[in-house]
A and B are shown apart, each in its own frame.
Chain A
Amino acid sequence: MRQRPTFRLRWPNGLGVLRWFLNGWTALVFVFLYLPIGVLVVYSFNRSRLNLQWAGFTLEWYRSLVENTPLLRAAQNSIVIAIVSTVLSVVLGTLSAWLLHRYRFRNQGTIQTLAAIPMVMPEILMGISLLIFFAALGLGLGFTTVIIGHVTFCFPFVLVAVQARLRGLDPAMEEAALDLGATPARAFWLVILPWLRPAILAGALMAFTLSWDELIVTFFTTSAASATLPIRIFGMAKIGLNPMLNALSAVIVVATAAIVLFSAYVRRLARD
Chain B
Amino acid sequence: MRPLKNTLLLALALLVAGTVRAAGELNIFGWSEYIPQKVLDGFTKETGITVNLETYASNEELLSKLLAGGNSYDLIQPSDYAAEALIRAHLLEPLDPARLPNRKNLDPAFLHRPHDPDDRYTVPYMSGTVGIVVNTDRVKEPIHGYRDVFQPKYRNRIVVLNDNREMVSWALDTLGRPINRITPEALAAARPVLARWISLVKVFDSDSPKTALLNGDVDLGIVWSGEAAILWRENHKFQYVIPAEGAHQFLDVLAIPANAAHRDAALQFMNYILRPEVSVLISDVFPYTNPNAAARKLLTPEQLANPASYPPHPGRLESFRDIGRAAEGIDRLMTDLKSAR
Contact = CB atoms under 8 A, between A and B. Distances in A.
A227 B55 contact: yes
Interface residues of A, number: 42
Contacts of B15: 80, 143
B65 interface: yes
A246 interface: no
Nearest to B27: A224
Given A50-B214, A70-B37, A95-B1, A236 B208 contact: no
Interface in B44-65: 52-57, 61, 64-65
B8 A219 contact: no
B69 A132 contact: yes
A59 B68 CA distance: 44
A163 interface: no
B210 interface: yes
A239 B8 contact: no
Contact of B211 (A52, A70, A227, A235): A52
B16 interface: yes
A118 interface: no
Interface in A133-148: 134-135, 138-144, 147
Interface in B280-328: 285-286
Contact of B214 (A52, A131, A226): A52
A120 B278 CA distance: 47
A269 B247 CA distance: 67
Summarize A's interface: helix, strand, loop or mixed: helix
Contacts of B52: 223-225
B19 A239 contact: no
Contact of B230 (A141, A232, A240): A240
Nearest to B287: A239
A147 B230 contact: no
B69 A135 contact: yes
Contacts of A95: 1
A225 B230 CA distance: 31
B339 interface: no
Interface string B198-212: 000000000110110
A241 B16 contact: no
A208 B312 CA distance: 52
A52 B230 CA distance: 13
Interface string A216-247: 00011011111100011011111111000000
Contact of B208 (A143, A222, A232, A240): A240
Interface residues of B, number: 41
Given A143-B12, A227-B54, A240-B230, A234 B32 contact: yes
A144 B12 contact: yes
B214 A144 contact: no
Contacts of B37: 70
B65 A220 contact: yes
Given A52-B214, A219-B56, A84 B230 contact: no
Given A50-B214, A70-B37, A95-B1, A241 B32 contact: no
A223 B57 contact: no
B2 to A, nearest CB: 10
Nearest to A221: B70
A52 B4 contact: no
A29 to B, nearest CB: 27
Contact of B8 (A88, A134, A138, A140): A88
A178 to B, nearest CB: 23
Nearest to B231: A50
A193 to B, nearest CB: 14
Contact of A141 (B28, B70, B285): B70
B20 interface: yes
Interface string A55-97: 0000000000000001000000000100010011001100100
Nearest to B210: A240
A244 to B, nearest CB: 12
A128 interface: yes
B34 to A, nearest CB: 9
Nearest to B208: A237
B141 interface: no
Given A50-B234, A232-B55, 9 more contacts: A50-B214, A50-B230, A128-B68, A135-B69, A138-B70, A142-B16, A144-B9, A223-B54, A225-B16
22 contacts: A50-B234, A70-B37, A87-B8, A88-B5, A91-B1, A92-B1, A132-B68, A134-B70, A135-B68, A135-B70, A141-B70, A143-B12, A144-B12, A225-B16, A225-B20, A232-B32, A234-B32, A234-B57, A237-B207, A238-B32, A238-B208, A241-B208
